[in-house]
Amino acid sequence: MGHVRVLNEFVLLVLLVVVASLLSVSVEWHVALACLWLVYGIASTWLAVVATPELAGAKLVTGSTVCVLLAPSLRALSAERARSTGRVRRLVDTAGSTAVDEPFMLVGAILVAAASIALSQAFPIVGSATNFAWYWLGLLGLLLIMLSRDLVRVGIGLLLLLNAVDLLDTLAASHQGVGAIGARSVVTIVLALALGVVWTAVHARAVTGAPPPPVPTLSLIGRPVGDLDQSDQQAVDEAASQAG
């Protein structure tokens, strides 16, 4: 039975590393949202293996709620990005093309995995495999927050960091009351709601700040009427009066 549990934990670790790495470099909003939900799903399955079904269910419900709250703003930001740049569905970038490139973030994720292995062995707090899981999520979240200029990735980094703290607190405490579980879920949902509001505000600002489309105007000798100087305008007025 112990070997089966170790194997299950190893499989979940591999899935967590793959999904979180894809989340850190994803540029499609629906892929990012699916990976975020999978992170919560894998963490929920992990808690079902090493803790209790109640904790696993609370984690899954929290993750599903977070994804539902973030989906509209992510879709709106992606659509606005596609309209403004002509590229298909990239996540919003607060600094234009100077954001950290996806290959660099992937290398950073690999370095974070190596650091997580070293820290989980040097400073074990809970079980060895669980140590790696929360170190990995926490360090990856910090990497996204500190190095990314992408507003969406910064928000995802905050969610990963909070997920790591939640996982550590859940496994470090011997007994978890309903109040503690509910409080952590409420904090996560409030953060997701705040991120959704901020992303929606950014989308609204991008929409209202866009220059209006040009209005067709009549032209005289190849120039719009609004661009005529004073002498040309007087000539037009005189011609109109003579015609009358």
Is 174 exposed, middle or buried (CB count within 10 Å of its CB: 0-12, 13-18, 19+)? exposed
Closest CA to 137 of 38, 206, 203: 38
Q: SS3 breakdown of the chain: % helix, strand, coil, rounded to 5?
A: 80, 0, 20
Calculated CA dihedral for residues 126, 129, 132, 137, nearest 10 degrees: -90
CA distance 102 to 31: 14
> For the chain, what are the domain ranges?
2-213, 217-244
Of 90 and 191, more confident: 191
| pLDDT tens digits for range 168-227 | 887 776 566 677 778 888 999 999 999 989 888 887 776 665 544 454 444 444 444 444
Q: What is the pLDDT of residue 67?
A: 94
pLDDT above 90: percentage of residues in the chain: 16
CA distance 139 to 142: 5
Query: From the CB of residue 53, how many other CB atoms can be counted at a distance below 10 Å?
Result: 10
Helices H, strands E: what count in the chain? 8, 2
Q: What is the pLDDT of residue 218?
A: 43
Q: At what angle do helices 128-147 and 29-50 cross, to 10 degrees?
A: 160
* Secondary structure class of 219 (helix, strand, coil): strand
